[in-house]
């Protein structure tokens, strides 16, 4: 039994190393341009072993995305959901977490852009995407808690459905910070922090019932 546990731990460590390497290469070069052989060489793990852990490149890409987002979500949301403040204040902190991602995790945003393009081009199935979607669903559940706080204290607009509020907030904030991270901005994007803060304030005015 002890030997089996050690083997499982060793495999888990190797899989993590492969995903760490894949994330670094994908975020730097794009997903489509990085072959599995390059990941094997960079990680120091045999290509045959990598294919045992991840039977196809799509499996590695999705697993890497799920692993990366899970770690980031835990890091960022631990500063958002502190159990203090009003629903509107928690919503404001939720929006601010996207600004923090732009400031501190541009590699994640670059990877996210490459990931969206890759899975669309490859026709990745919903079953293959399940590990990634399960992680994203955790964000929706945490947002639900903020929404319920706003319902109880009256600081969030209840005439707007929760799913609409969540979807628009996530899509708008993530789309804009990603464009800045990959350089897809008009006029050079000379004041990204100011513009991102403006977007955050616009969403707060739209969805809260009182100034934050």
Residues 144-190 pLDDT 10s: 988 999 999 999 999 999 999 999 999 999 999 998 898 876 655 56
85 versus 44: which is more confidently predicted?
Answer: 44
Asked whether 148 and 157 are in contact (CB, 8 A), the reply is no
* Structural domains of the chain in order of their starting residue, each with its CATH number: 1-55 (1.10.10.60), 57-207 (1.10.357.10)
Question: Residue with structure tokens 């808690």?
Answer: 145
Percent of the chain with pLDDT over 70: 91
- Please name the helix (run of DSSP H) or strand (run of DSSP E) that holds residue 106, with its range, or none: helix 106-122
- Cα four-point dihedral sign 145, 78, 21, 107: positive
pLDDT tens sequence across 96-125: 989 999 999 999 999 999 999 999 999 999
pTM, entire model: 0.85
Rounded to the nearest 10 degrees, the angle between the axes of helix 87-104 and helix 192-207 is: 160
Q: Which residues contact 101 (CB under 8 A, 6 or more apart)?
A: 72, 76, 108, 109, 177
């Amino acid at each position: 039994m002890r030997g089996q546990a050690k083997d499982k731990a060793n495999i888990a460590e190797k899989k993590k190393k492969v995903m760490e390497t894949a994330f670094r290469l994908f975020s730097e070069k794009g997903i489509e341009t990085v072959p599995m052989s390059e990941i094997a060489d960079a990680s120091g793990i045999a290509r045959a072993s990598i294919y045992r852990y991840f039977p196809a490149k799509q499996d590695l890409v999705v697993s890497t995305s799920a692993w990366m987002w899970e770690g980031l979500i835990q890091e960022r949301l631990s500063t958002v959901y502190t159990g203090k403040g009003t629903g509107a204040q928690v919503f404001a902190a939720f929006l601010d977490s996207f600004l923090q991602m732009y400031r501190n995790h541009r590699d994640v945003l670059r990877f996210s852009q490459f990931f969206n393009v890759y899975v669309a081009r490859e026709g990745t199935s919903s079953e293959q995407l399940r590990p990634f979607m399960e992680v994203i669903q955790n964000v929706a559940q945490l947002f639900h808690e903020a929404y319920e706080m706003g319902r109880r204290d009256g600081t969030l607009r209840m005439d707007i459905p929760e799913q609409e509020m969540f979807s628009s907030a996530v899509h708008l904030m993530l789309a804009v910070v990603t464009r800045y991270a990959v350089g897809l901005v008009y006029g050079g994007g000379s004041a990204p922090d100011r513009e991102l803060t403006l977007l955050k304030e616009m969403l707060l005015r739209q969805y809260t019932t009182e100034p934050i």
